[in-house]
Amino acid sequence: MAPQQFLQSYTDFQGHTTQVGYDSNWYVNSVQDGNGHTTTCVRGPPPNAYPGPTGIGEILKITHLDDSTHIDYTYQSEPGAIGGHYVATVSDERQKVTTYTRDPTTHRVTRIDYPSGADTPVSYEEFTYNSFGQVLTHHLRNLAWESFVYDSRGLLTDKFNPKQSGVPSGADPHTHYDYYTSADGKLGWIDRVKKVTLPANNLGNVASETYEYDRTLDATGITNLTGAVVGGRGLVTKITHADNNY
């Protein structure tokens, strides 16, 4: 076989050499670090495997040779497609398993079940999504819920504080986000966050921050805070608080 020009080793400034090994499909299957500790990987099949199942060389097992502990991975089945993209379970070095439940079509994570035991109570998270794949509700491990609202283009407009009794909505405490639009006359800033309004505190006071972004530079190359609006890099140049201090 002709040379593949894959990295086989490298040496750091202290003369410690790391060795990299590959399997017959040129997937990394071993690394010996500069201190002589070796970690090996068992990989899944390549996309062109024939006959038999195909994969992407996904990692199935990582073993630390010093103590023989290992981490194991399984993946969601993808009938009729190349598999190995979506983690289903992870078993750590102590055989504690984290399980990921996914939507069978979109493969989005809908639930995560965490390891439990005598000293660790059962815990899990749950997620729902909109058509853009953005999280709508999140059921936390402490059983509280948080929720998120987006506009028709997927911009986050409301982020609700966690609520123990159910999914928060409506007048429940939340942070609200406004964005620049063409009506603001600042075309270079369209879709950037314009204002963040926080939930009221226990006295009913509402804090907010209004953001301004890139403007033209002055003769010295410094942002002119009264200069013309430009698209720029999205850098915040001014933050104005609810009391008009900035």
Q: Measured between alpha carbons, how far is 54 from 46 in angstroms, rounded to an integer? A: 6
Q: Measured between alpha carbons, how far is 233 from 222 in angstroms, rounded to an integer? A: 14
Q: Measured between alpha carbons, how far is 130 from 156 in angstroms, rounded to an integer? A: 12
Q: Measured between alpha carbons, how far is 157 from 176 in angstroms, rounded to an integer? A: 6
Q: Could you tell me the pLDDT band of residue 244, with boundaries at 50, 70 and 90?
A: very high
Question: What value does the mean pLDDT take over residues 183-199?
Answer: 98
Mean pLDDT score across all residues of the chain:
96
User: Locate tokens 């017959």: which residue?
Assistant: 24
pLDDT at position 163 is 99
pTM of the model: 0.89
> pLDDT tens digits for 31-57?
999 999 999 999 999 999 988 889 999
Answer whether 7's CB lies under 8 Å from 21's CB: no
Q: Is 206 helix (H, G, I), strand (E, B) or coil?
A: coil
